[in-house]
Amino acid sequence: MLVLLLACTTDTDTGDTAGDLEPTLTNVQAEVFTPSCAFSTCHGEGDGSANLLLAEGSSHADLVGVPAEGDATSGAPADGSVRVVAGDPDGSYLVQKLQTTGTFVGDIMPDPAGLDAERLALVRAWIEAGAKDD
């Protein structure tokens, strides 16, 4: 009986996790960019850090097909990296920064701990599906 009670979800728990979501920009925005990146001190207002805005309505235009650039603290990647290469998560600078692999400048994102595996998988799946703006 106790086991059954622990397995039930509460009314506030939809049961959906980032791993259950369709790989759309809307879901990436809601699960990753808005709660983890789009703050005034990071990528939420003005020019954003590294001239990158990840606020709703700006993120796609500032990511897909856009050369990565640094800021005064991080510098710019020297290899001509592109923030998001549609269809190629491993070739996308954003993924390198999020999964802390590859050659990137500055800190991992989001600072200080990076993303959990489900949210990272959602970003990767969105890029692999063509990084479309929905």
The per-residue pLDDT of the chain, averaged, comes to 80
Strongest mean pLDDT among 51-55, 67-71, 85-89:
85-89
State the average pLDDT over residues 22-41.
Answer: 93
- The answer to the question of residue 75 being in a domain is yes
- The answer to the question of residue 118 being in a domain is yes
- The answer to the question of residue 36 being in a domain is yes
What gap in Å lies between CA 100 and CA 19, rounded to an integer?
Answer: 20
Does the pLDDT at position 77 exceed 70? no
State pLDDT tens for residues 95-123: 988 887 767 777 778 876 778 999 999 99
Place of tokens 């925005």: 29
Share of the chain above pLDDT 90, in %: 48
Does the pLDDT at position 78 exceed 70? no
* Owning domain of residue 29: 22-128
DSSP output for 11-76: TT--S--GGGS---HHHHIIIIIHHHT-STTTTSSTT-GGG---STTTHHHHHBTPBP---TTT--
Please state the domain count of the chain: 1
- The answer to the question of residue 74 being in a domain is yes
State pLDDT tens for residues 10-23: 233 344 567 789 99
- The answer to the question of residue 63 being in a domain is yes
- The answer to the question of residue 61 being in a domain is yes
- The answer to the question of residue 12 being in a domain is no
State the average pLDDT over residues 83-105.
Answer: 88
